[in-house]
Amino acid sequence: MFTKGSIYFIANYRYEDGGTPTNKILLVVGIDDENSLLLRALTTSQQKIPDDLVKHGCTNNDFFSFFSFLKDRIIGTDKNGGDFSFDKNTFVFFRDNIEVISYKTILSYFPDDAKLMGQLSEVEYKRFLKCITGSKLLRKKHREFLLLNLSD
């Protein structure tokens, strides 16, 4: 079901920490060799950064660590093979939005609620990986998971 770089809309996403469920977009960052674990990133359209930092791509500095997908910029293909873009500026902040989850858990959480939206292009996926692995805010266990599971 899940592939690296796939993007899902999940209605009533139930947070691992028990937070109030909300609609979220989930990006599959990495999958282990046994397809039993995936590294997921949650996106937000809430701009928590100064306007001058809003640009497409990677920002890693002493204060911020995130990847931005600009509104209406084509970043891959949709579920029908057409162009895919977000309808709002969309951000992945690397602090507290990245987690390793088992397939079993994610499928039990979202058996009917996960709807495939699209797939990042290979270029966009590699840009995202380069950014996330270069982040000082990515937890060591998540960096190790990615480095172990980067090959296709």
Interatomic CA distance for residues 27 and 29, integer angstroms: 6
86 within some domain: yes
Give the span between the Cα atoms of 9 and 23, in whole angstroms.
7
Tell me the pLDDT tens digit for each residue of 4-36.
899 988 887 777 777 788 888 888 888 876 666
pLDDT tens digits along 59-88: 998 888 899 999 999 999 999 999 999 999
Using alpha carbons only, what angle is made at residue 95 by residues 64 and 40, rounded to the nearest 5 degrees?
125
Q: Give the residue numbers spanning the domain of 144.
A: 6-148
More confident residue, 59 or 97: 59
pLDDT confidence of residue 109: 63
* Residue 1 domain-assigned (yes or no): no
Asked whether 115 and 8 are in contact (CB, 8 A), the reply is yes
Looking at the structure of the chain, the number of domains it has is 1
